[in-house]
Structures are given as C-alpha cells and as structure tokens.
C-alpha cells in the first residue's frame, strides 16, 4: 500500500504545531509528511514587536525547525511556495514541486495597507525576523546620525506607529522602554524623542474593555507615548506621515513610520484559485476548504465566523495553535482511510496585551480583567505554555520568559 503524502505549507504557529502533532500521533510507516518553510526557523510572531523595538533579541523569538521536528518522521524542505494547483494536487516551490494527498495551508498573513498612498513604499512592517531586526537597526541608525549633524531634524527621532490595535499598542510599549536606553547610548535628551501612535478608530485597542484601554493609555502616556486617536492616515512619504483629525491635516516629519495595523491572509491562496476574502478561506467546521476535501487551512489564512457576534474570530496565535490540533487530527483520520472528522471549536482563554517589560492588560477566563504586573506575568505564562507544547521542557528552558520579577 502506498503511503499518503501529507504536505504542510508554512511553519508558523499553525503549520509547525500541525507537524509536531502529526509526528507524535502517526507512525513512520503511515505517511510521508513534508513541511515547507522559507526559513530554517519558526518564529513567534507575537514576539516580533519586541525584536523590532530592540528589547528582545530575535534569537529568543526564533526556533530552528530541526530542534522541534523529528526529521526521521517529517521531511523539512527550506523553500518558498510559489503556487498551489489544488485540482492537480500539486504545489510549486521555488526550487522544486511536490504532489500531495493531503495539504495543510499555513502560509500566514500579509500587511493590509487599505490603499493608503505611500504606505507600502515608505512604512516598515513587523512582518518577520528580517523586517523586525531591520526596524530595530533603522531606529538606532537614525539616533546614531543625530549628533553628527549640525542641525539635525526631528524626523530622525520621531517614531510614528500606525495603528493602536493589539500589535501597535504592544510595540509602543516596548519602544517606551527602549527609547531611554537609546538616548543614553547616543547622548540624546529623552525629550527630543517622540513616540506617536496614530489610530483611525475612536479608541485605542478597539474591542477591549474601556477600563483596560484607559489603564493602557495612562501607562503608555506616562512613559511618553503620544496618542492621535480618531486620526486617519492620509499618506506616508519619504518625509513622514500625514494624518487628518477633526478636519485638520497634520504632517509628522519622520524617517521611521511603522505600520502595525491591518493584516490579511496570503495572496498565494487567492492566486491559486481558492475562494477567499482578503486572502482568507472561509473553512468548513473540520478546517477544510469549501471546495477541496483534501486541503486544510490553518492560522491567518483560515476565516472562521464567531456565531455569537457574527464576525470573524481574530486570527491570533491562540486560534492557530488550537486549529492545529483539529487539523492534525483530521489529516490523520483521512490518511488512515477513516471518516470521523472532528469539528474545530475555539476555546478562547483570554487575551493579554503587553505594555512593556512589566506591565500589561488582559481579559482571561470569563471576562476577568487583569492589570499591570499580574497581567504581564500571565502574558509570560501563556508564552511559556506554547513553548512547552511545541518543544517540551528543553525548548521552554532555552527560549522561555522567566524575567517576571520587577
């Protein structure tokens, strides 16, 4: 009997957890499992803002795939996905092509720029390890230039963050911790540096409890973050960012505009002919695409509607990790020729947004609110649980966050 080919595209939260689950639950002789990823490493997308701010080194955020994948069970290909041909059950990679019996698409997100002129060209994005460490170095380079110029402009020291959602808030929280260190390193008075967070919605952290939002904004403002709430970004230029608020047009000169707002699914998904909304496939309850019984989607490219609110669940790491359980189970069932697929049921355990090293806000277990240090500890507990799940105690000890004391 021919062993079925299982191909997993992408080693983000969803892809790598699917691979880890499959290698635990299936025997070597049951299937050929291939995992395709552009880099030799997996990374924790939820930690990238720390790498971008320079408060955490990117080697803490990334995990070599060979350190968590059993290569005797899973074949790892470092390659880039070009397209998928679902009718032919084929995947075209940059350097080769694969055929599959069962496919798991975990290709992750792309930035959604909402057509704002200049955003794509002139703003940085917290997208991956490469782009995050570039932001870190870009900020530092501008600080390093400052005292070399006779009349340095404020564009060197104005850091503008587009979006006060989850990522935007977490990023400015890290920046607020990092900037005093940079000022010391480059002999720059702290008051010369501005951290400006621009948000179009009428509130920061839309969807969060107003008491938590207030706590977060107070904490960040006390550390020097400026908020421009209800401010529409009109344009990003080589000179800075333009927004409009209360019918006033404001230009902020800045070399460093970081877009931390919209994300969408992967364009490869759309281009490969799957029916998708902004790169997201509205999956069946067993996580398969509507049209193909052999294709699963996990993570940012999967769209699942929350029936209580009639809106999509936000594509978080937590969701992707839980989906991977269902996807791995269902792939195994199909690969064994069985039929009982299980439905995905999200079990949301709360959300905690970090505001810097020892501060955070969050909602956990049935709307219990958390503030400050206890929330920041909870955040680290969540992060550490993932590492334990992914790579066991060894990985937890190597990459975990244990700096919980003030």
**Catalytic residue numbers, as ranges:** 170
* 138 in contact with a second copy (CB under 8 A): yes
- For a second copy (CB under 8 A), the number of binding residues is 16
Residues near 381 by Cβ (< 8 Å), separated by ≥ 6?
none
**Residue (145 or 278) nearer to a second copy, CB:** 145
* Angle CA 354–359–362, to nearest 5: 55
* 137 in contact with a second copy (CB under 8 A): yes
Identify which range of 19-27, 126-134, 324-332, 336-344 contacts a second copy by CB under 8 A.
126-134
Residues near 7 by Cβ (< 8 Å), separated by ≥ 6?
34, 36, 91, 98, 100, 102, 103, 104
**Residue (137 or 306) nearer to a second copy, CB:** 137
Identify which range of 139-147, 234-242, 303-311, 354-362 contacts a second copy by CB under 8 A.
139-147
At its nearest, how many Å lie between a second copy and the CB of residue 148?
5
**Residue (79 or 101) nearer to a second copy, CB:** 79
**Residue (125 or 173) nearer to a second copy, CB:** 125
What count of other Cβ atoms lies within 10 Å of the Cβ of residue 114? 12
* 93 in contact with a second copy (CB under 8 A): no
281-297 burial, b at 16+ Cβ within 10 Å, e below that, comes to bbbbebbbbeebebbbb
Region of residue 284 (left: phi > 0; alpha: psi -120 to 50; beta: else): beta
Which one of residues 95, 130, 151, 366 is an interface residue with a second copy (CB under 8 A)? 130
Residue with tokens 């969060």: 208
**Residue (57 or 398) nearer to a second copy, CB:** 57
Residues near 115 by Cβ (< 8 Å), separated by ≥ 6?
none
* 134 in contact with a second copy (CB under 8 A): yes
Query: CA nearest 227: which of 286, 274, 166, 161?
Result: 161
* 141 in contact with a second copy (CB under 8 A): yes
Identify which range of 66-74, 161-169, 183-191, 229-237 contacts a second copy by CB under 8 A.
183-191
* 120 in contact with a second copy (CB under 8 A): no
* 377 in contact with a second copy (CB under 8 A): no
Which one of residues 90, 145, 357, 385 is an interface residue with a second copy (CB under 8 A)? 145
For the chain, give percent helix, strand, coil, nearest 5. Answer: 35, 25, 35
Residues near 247 by Cβ (< 8 Å), separated by ≥ 6?
none
First-residue to last-residue Cα distance in the chain: 59
Sites of contact with a second copy (CB under 8 A): 130-131, 133-134, 136-138, 140-141, 144-145, 147-148, 185-187
């Amino acid at each position: 009997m021919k062993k079925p080919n299982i191909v997993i595209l992408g080693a983000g939260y969803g892809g790598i957890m699917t691979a880890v689950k499959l290698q635990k639950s299936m025997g070597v002789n049951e299937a050929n499992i291939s995992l395709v990823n552009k880099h030799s490493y997996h990374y924790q997308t939820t930690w990238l803002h720390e790498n971008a701010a320079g408060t955490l080194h990117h080697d803490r955020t990334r995990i070599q795939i060979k350190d968590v994948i059993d290569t005797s069970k899973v074949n790892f290909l470092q390659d880039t996905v070009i397209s998928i041909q679902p009718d032919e059950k084929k995947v075209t990679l940059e350097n080769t092509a694969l055929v599959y019996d069962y496919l798991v698409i975990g290709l992750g997100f792309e930035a959604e720029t909402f057509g704002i002129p200049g955003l794509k060209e002139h703003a940085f994005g917290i997208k991956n390890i490469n782009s995050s460490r570039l932001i870190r170095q870009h900020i530092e380079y501008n600080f390093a230039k400052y005292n070399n110029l006779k009349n340095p402009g404020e564009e060197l020291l104005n850091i503008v963050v587009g979006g006060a959602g989850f990522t935007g808030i977490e990023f400015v929280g890290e920046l607020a911790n990092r900037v005093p260190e940079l000022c010391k390193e480059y002999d720059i008075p702290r008051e010369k540096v501005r951290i400006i967070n621009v948000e179009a919605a009428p509130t920061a952290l839309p969807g969060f409890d107003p008491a938590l939002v207030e706590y977060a904004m107070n904490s960040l403002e006390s550390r020097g973050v400026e908020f421009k709430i209800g401010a529409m970004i009109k344009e990003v230029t080589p000179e800075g960012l333009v927004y409009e608020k209360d019918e006033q047009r404001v230009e902020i000169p800045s070399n460093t505009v970081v877009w931390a707002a919209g994300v969408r699914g992967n364009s490869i998904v759309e281009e490969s002919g799957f029916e998708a909304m902004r790169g997201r496939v509205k999956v069946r309850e067993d996580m398969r695409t509507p049209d193909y019984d052999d294709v699963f989607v996990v993570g940012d490219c999967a769209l699942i509607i929350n029936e209580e609110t009639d809106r999509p669940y936000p594509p978080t790491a937590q969701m992707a990790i839980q989906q991977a359980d269902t996807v791995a189970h269902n792939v195994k069932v199909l690969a064994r020729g069985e039929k009982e697929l299980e439905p995905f049921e999200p079990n949301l355990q709360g959300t905690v947004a970090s505001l810097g090293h020892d501060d955070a806000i969050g909602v956990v277990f049935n709307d219990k609110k958390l503030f400050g240090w206890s929330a920041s500890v909870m955040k680290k507990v969540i992060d550490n649980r993932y590492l334990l799940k992914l790579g066991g105690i060894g990985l937890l000890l190597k990459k975990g966050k244990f700096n919980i004391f003030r």
